């Protein structure tokens, strides 16, 4: 595998049922800080029951980040859906874009769709996130 390839990993997990919006905002703040240091970019979505997240960066950074995420007790059942290599980042401008579907209105849902429609986003990534988004709020 050439060194310049970007590894992208998409997983789903089940959120702790006691999570509130402040918990989600804290997750985002920590992810943004840690990801900037580790040169990880990506997208986090939450529908009231499940998380779906894409993390991308060097293979070693993605592996380390996924390991740390897997240890977090605010979710369980972390299942990797896809792991792919790309010549560039799908979300280069986001240390961690996030959409919490149960708290956001249709305008923000439309913004998520616009983000997923960008040419840099792999069609498989677009498909899994649009499927997750179409489930809407689950609780």
CATH code assigned at 96: 3.30.70.100
- 60-96 confidence digits (pLDDT tens): 999 999 999 999 999 999 999 999 999 999 999 888 8
**Rounded CA gap, 129 and 54, in Å?**
9
- CA dist., res. 73 & res. 2, Å (int): 34
Decide if 28 is inside a domain: yes
Residue 139 lies in a domain: no
Q: Is 100 helix (H, G, I), strand (E, B) or coil?
A: strand
Provide the residue range defining the domain that includes 92: 6-132
Total domains in the chain come to 1
Q: Write out pLDDT tens, residues 13-36.
A: 999 999 998 999 999 999 999 898
Q: Is residue 138 part of a domain?
A: no
Q: Are 70 and 14 in contact (CB under 8 A)?
A: no
CA separation for the pair 86, 71 (Å, rounded) = 26
Rounded CA gap, 79 and 110, in Å?
27
1 domain-assigned: no
**137 domain residue, yes or no:** no
Domain contains 112: yes
Q: Which two tokens stand for residue 11?
A: 């997983």
For residue 68, being part of any structural domain is answered with: yes
In-domain check, residue 78: yes
With beta carbons less than 8 A apart as the criterion, state whether 113 and 48 touch. Answer: no
pTM for this model (two decimals)? 0.88
Q: Helices (H) and strands (E) in the chain — how many of each?
A: 4, 5
């Amino acid at each position: 595998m050439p060194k310049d390839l970007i590894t992208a990993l998409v997983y789903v997990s089940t959120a702790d049922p006691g999570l509130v919006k402040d918990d989600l905002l804290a997750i985002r703040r920590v992810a943004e800080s840690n990801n900037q240091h580790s040169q990880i970019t990506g997208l986090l979505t939450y529908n009231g029951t499940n998380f779906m997240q894409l993390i991308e960066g060097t293979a070693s950074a993605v592996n380390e980040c996924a390991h740390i995420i897997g240890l977090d007790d605010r979710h369980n059942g972390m299942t990797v859906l896809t792991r792919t290599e790309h010549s560039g980042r799908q979300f280069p401008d986001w240390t961690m874009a996030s959409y919490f579907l149960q708290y956001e209105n249709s305008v923000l849902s439309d913004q998520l769709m616009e983000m997923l429609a960008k040419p840099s986003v792999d069609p498989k990534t677009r498909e899994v996130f649009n499927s997750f988004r179409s489930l809407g709020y689950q609780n």
